[in-house]
Amino acid sequence: MQRFSRAVFLPVIALSISTEALAQGPRLPGVAIVEIDDIAQSGKAAALTAMIQSSIAATNKFRVIEREQLAKLEREQTLAKRGTITSRDNGRIGGFEGADYLIYGSITTLSASKKSDMGATLIRGIFSSQGSQSQSCYTGKITLGLDIKISDKQTGQIRYVKRIDESQSSSICGDEIPQADSTVLMRSAADKVASGLITSVFPIKVADVGSDGVITLNYGEGSLRSGDYLTIFEPGKALVDPDTGAPMGTSERRIGIVEVIDVQSRFSRAKAVAGFTMDPPQVKFVARTMTKDDQEAFKPGKKKKN
C-alpha cells in the first residue's frame, strides 16, 4: 500500500510544478528609468517619466520597474556600501536587481517661437464703418527636445541613443504666444523611446502572411502608425569574428517595402508596396523603418541592391 501511494504521489508533484511554471510564463526583460534630467526647467520630468513607463508597459514585452521600486533599491544600495550584498550578479554590491535595461534622459528644450508668414496679414473690420485694420500673423511653434540613452545593465553596452525632437505649429496674430498641448508632444516622444527600446532588443518581425497578401507584424500601438513604411529583410546566418569568436550579428537580405495600413494594440497589418517580385515575405522575417537607401533600391527599373 505504501509503495502504491508513493507511485501516485510523485507524478502529482511533477504535474503541479509543471503547471505552475507554465502559468508564470517566460520572464520578460526588466526596464528601469533611472533619471530624466530637466535641463530645460520645464517641470515636465515626472510626467514624461510616467508616459515612458506607460508606453513601454503597453508593448507587453518588458517589465517596468517604477520609481518607487528604484527608491527602495537606492536605499538597499546605501546598506550595500556598508557591506550588505543586495545584488544577485555574482556578489556585485548594489545594482538594479531585475532591471536588464536602464534608461537615462534629459529634457533639453521646451520652447515657443514664432516666424513671420512672409508679410501675411489678417484683415479685420473690412466691412466696418471704422475702416479696415490689419494685423501681422505668424506661424507659432512649440518644440520639445529630448536626449535618450538606453544601456544594457549586464554588459554596459549602449543599445539606443537618440535625440528626439517633437514640435507642434499653430497660426497666431499680433502679440499672442504660441499655444500647444505639451502633453501631446511628450506622449509622442514617450512612444518613440518605447519603440527605440523594443526594436533594439526585439526587432519587428512578420508574424503572419495572409492568403490575401496582408502581412501581420508583431508590434502595434506605441511602436507603429498607419502610413509607416518598413523594409522587410530575410535573416541570414549568424556571423562570428574569426579571431575572437565574438558574434557580429547576422547577414540579411532586403526583399521589399511594406506600408502599415492598420494598427491594433499588439499587432499591425501591412501591405506590400515595392519589391517581393521573387521573394515573398515569410514568418520571422525582420522589418525595419525604411531608409532613403531602401527606397532608392526598389525604384522601378532599378536593379535591387542587397
**Among 23-32, 208-217, 251-260, where is mean pLDDT lowest?**
23-32
Q: Mean pLDDT check: name the lowest of 35-44, 126-135, 256-265.
A: 126-135
Mean pLDDT of 35-63: 90
Helices 182-201 and 45-58 meet at what angle, rounded to 10? 40
pLDDT at 47 over 70: yes
142 neighbors 181 (Cβ within 8 angstroms): no
Q: Is the pLDDT of residue 136 over 50?
A: yes
Comparing 121 with 102, the larger pLDDT belongs to 102
Hey, which of 75-84, 181-190, 287-296 has the most confident mean pLDDT?
287-296
User: Which phi and psi (to 5°) does residue 186 adopt?
Assistant: -65, -40
Here the contacts of 151-160 (C-beta below 8 Å, separation 24 or greater) are 151/101, 151/102, 151/104, 152/100, 152/101, 153/95, 153/96, 153/99, 153/100, 153/101, 153/102, 154/89, 154/100, 159/101, 159/197, 159/200, 159/201, 160/196, 160/197, 160/200
- How far apart (Å, rounded) are the C-alpha atoms in residues 200 and 108? 23
Share of the chain above pLDDT 70, in %: 66
Q: What is the mean pLDDT of residues 183-189?
A: 89
C-alpha angle with apex 112: 111 to 115, nearest 5 degrees?
135
Mean pLDDT across the stretch 186-206? 88
For residue 81, what pLDDT band results from cuts at 50, 70 and 90?
A: low
**Please, which pLDDT band fits residue 239 given cuts at 50, 70 and 90?**
confident
Higher pLDDT among residues 124 and 276, named by residue: 276
pLDDT band at 170 (very low <50, low <70, confident <90, very high): low
178, pLDDT greater than 70: no
